[in-house]
């Protein structure tokens, strides 16, 4: 069960848009529309931002959006704000009836 | 309002067995489709899914750790317990418990969630002699 592949870091200026990729296999990301994304600020618990590839929980800003193509899912944050600076993790359900997380991406708002 | 809170030892010695308790409120593990999972995070590293138990006692485990893990539930106490045997310093991490919401069925299909919508604050466990 290998971790999903994410870039270690991404950065952007306030107001810009950034995209974080999450690459898996046909046994996880590519095989199911069960990709979720979590935001984690330092010392805090993860927070669900996107579920089932592209759905936002109630209360999450519409600046956050998700998509998927083949074995790669993506999280896009538009209108970047200072408060978006955090670590982001993707997760997928797998064909083994288990879950796998990505290695995490540190977002820096310049 | 759903809340979860992890409790257990902050320090364990190598080879010991770790027992962590997740105490929750705002939902019932007697509700069809509900699940409670455990995820850990070594200091400065990524999240790692460990185990999950559903309302119907269906258990899932991380394959590489399956021989060391056991997850149980006590709906009457609103608790889920994770035990991990033969602890090693590499198991030093913050351990989180989390909630999977119930699914639902329409006349034509059923939907099962596979995401964690609520998380506890986490419990740091250090393994050291």
Q: Characterize the bridge pairing of strands B3-7 and B11-12.
A: unpaired
Q: What is the mean pLDDT of residues A89-96?
A: 97
CB B78 within 8 A of CB B99: no
Query: Which of A21, A109, A7 lies closest to A70 in space, CA to CA?
Result: A21
For the stretch A30-57, pLDDT in tens is: 999 999 999 999 999 999 999 999 999 9
pLDDT score at B45: 98
Q: B4-39 burial string, b = 16+ CB within 10 Å, else e? A: bebebeeebeeeeebebbbbbeebebeeebbbbbbb
Question: How far lies A33's CA from each of A18, A30, A105, B94, in Å?
Answer: 22, 8, 21, 28
- Alpha carbon distance A25, A36 (integer Å): 15
Please give the torsion angle defined by the CA atoms of residues A45, A78, A60 and B116, in that order, rounded to the nearest 10 degrees.
Answer: -50
Provide the shortest C-alpha distance from residue B16 to chain A (in Å). Answer: 26
Residue contact A96–B63, C-beta within 8 A: yes
Residues 84-123 of B with CB under 8 A from A: 96, 113-117, 119-122
Rounded to whole angstroms, the Cα distance separating A6 from A88 reads 9
Closest CA to B6 of B25, B20, B26: B20
- Mutation choice for A interface testing from B104, B114, B122 by most A CBs within 10 A: B114
Q: Which residues neighbour B57 within 8 Å (Cβ) at sequence distance 6 or greater?
A: B73
Under 8 Å CB-to-CB from A58, ≥6 apart: which residues?
Answer: none
User: Given this model, what pLDDT does residue A1 score?
Assistant: 73
pLDDT at B105 over 90: no
C-alpha distances in angstroms, B3 versus A1, A24, B29, B98, B114? 30, 31, 13, 9, 19
Residue range A77-99: mean pLDDT, rounded: 98
With pLDDT > 90 as the criterion, what percentage of chain B qualifies? 89
Contact A93, A28 (CB under 8 A): yes
Mean pLDDT value across residues B9-29: 97
pLDDT of residue A2: 87
Q: pLDDT digits over B23-78, tens only?
A: 999 999 998 889 999 999 999 999 999 999 999 999 999 999 999 999 999 999 99
Q: What confidence category does residue A11 fall into, taking pLDDT thresholds of 50, 70 and 90?
A: very high
A3 touches chain B (CB under 8 A): yes
């Amino acid at each position: 069960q290998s971790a999903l592949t994410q870039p270690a870091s991404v950065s952007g200026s306030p107001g810009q848009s950034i995209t974080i990729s999450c690459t898996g296999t046909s046994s996880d990301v590519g095989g199911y529309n069960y990709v979720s994304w979590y935001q984690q600020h330092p010392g805090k618990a993860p927070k669900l931002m996107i579920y089932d590839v592209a759905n936002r929980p109630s209360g999450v800003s519409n600046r956050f959006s998700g998509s998927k193509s083949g074995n790669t899912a993506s999280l896009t944050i538009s209108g970047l704000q200072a408060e978006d600076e955090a670590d982001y993790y993707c997760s997928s359900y797998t064909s083994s009836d288990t879950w796998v997380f990505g290695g995490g991406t540190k977002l820096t708002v310049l | 309002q759903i809340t979860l809170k992890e409790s257990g030892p902050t320090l364990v010695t190598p080879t010991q067995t770790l027992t962590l308790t997740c105490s929750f409120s705002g939902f019932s593990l007697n509700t069809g489709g509900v699940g409670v999972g455990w995820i850990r995070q070594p200091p400065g590293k990524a999240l790692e899914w460990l185990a999950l138990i559903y309302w119907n006692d269906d258990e899932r485990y991380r394959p590489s750790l399956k021989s060391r893990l056991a997850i149980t539930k006590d709906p009457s106490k609103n608790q889920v317990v994770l035990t991990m045997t033969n602890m090693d310093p590499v198991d030093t991490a913050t351990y989180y418990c989390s909630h999977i919401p119930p699914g639902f069925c329409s006349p034509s299909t059923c939907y099962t969630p596979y995401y964690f919508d609520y998380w506890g604050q986490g419990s740091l466990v250090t393994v050291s002699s």
